[in-house]
Amino acid sequence: MQSTHRRNQRAIVAWNGAALGLVLGLIAYGKSVGMAPSLLVEPPPAAFHLYPGFLTHVIQTLCAVPPTVCLFSMAVLRWLRPPQAIDRFLLGGAIATGAFLANEILRIHIVLGYATGLPKWALVLGFAGLLGFYGYTFRDRWAQTPYGLLAAAGVLFILAFAMDSRLLGDDVSALFEGTPKLFSILNYVLYFWLISQNAVIQALQPPAIAD
């Protein structure tokens, strides 16, 4: 019990220390480029009604679910049983979906586009390559998961990107880009939720007793 308490204390100190280091690093960077530190906590543009941007906020909120679920499940599994291959799969999923969350909120692909001059499609292909590397690394595990959800999410995301890039015509409304993106995110949230849930359920089951 004391060992668990000390471990929790170390984790609390480590997380708070990392957060403090991040804030100090961002302040130092801002000063180096001539930006006021107060810009770090500047609120987003306020809307006069809940309707504008509502689905965008829903998408961003959903994007936070997979990395949180994967990391929490992995932490729980570490306490329930010895490490297994599924733990690395969940860690990879947390990193991949966490990167997607960061891009969705911080619009990293747009920032890189301004900085490098590369078109949006080239940057999106780069992100897709990283996801492809994740998929190839864990190629032996996909068959054991509800990969149909992930396939559906991929198809819907490609459709959303095609509409956003105006590959289907300049008259396509932004709504027809955001709607398939919403369902894409919803399906990949369900995918990582289910595999995390199944991993925890299996770890909680008592070992089979041989006859």
Q: Express each pLDDT in 54-92 by its tens digit.
A: 888 899 999 999 999 999 999 999 888 888 889 999 999
Q: How far lies 19's CA from each of 12, 59, 186, in Å?
A: 11, 25, 29
**Counting beta carbons within 10 angstroms of the beta carbon of residue 89, is it exposed (0 to 12), middle (13 to 18) or buried (19 or more)?**
buried
**Counting beta carbons within 10 angstroms of the beta carbon of residue 199, is it exposed (0 to 12), middle (13 to 18) or buried (19 or more)?**
buried
Q: Which residues contact 23 (CB under 8 A, 6 or more apart)?
A: 40
Say what the pLDDT of residue 119 is.
Answer: 78
Say what the pLDDT of residue 130 is.
Answer: 77
Q: Which residues contact 121 (CB under 8 A, 6 or more apart)?
A: 161, 165
Better-scored residue on pLDDT, 124 or 99: 99
Under the banding of pLDDT at 50, 70 and 90, the label for residue 197 is very high
Mean pLDDT value across the chain:
83
* Whether this model's pTM surpasses 0.95: no
Say what the pLDDT of residue 179 is.
Answer: 86
Query: CA-CA distance, 87 to 98, in Å (whole number)?
Result: 16
Given a contact cutoff of 8 angstroms between Cβ atoms, the answer to whether 175 and 164 are in contact is: no
Q: Coil, strand, or helix at residue 210?
A: coil
Say what the pLDDT of residue 13 is.
Answer: 93
**Chain-centre distance for alpha carbon 86:** 18
Under the banding of pLDDT at 50, 70 and 90, the label for residue 1 is low
Say what the pLDDT of residue 141 is.
Answer: 82
Q: Coil, strand, or helix at residue 171?
A: coil
- Mean pLDDT value of segment 98-118: 84
Q: Enumerate helices (H) and strands (E) in the chain, giving the number of each.
A: 8, 0
**Chain-centre distance for alpha carbon 85:** 20
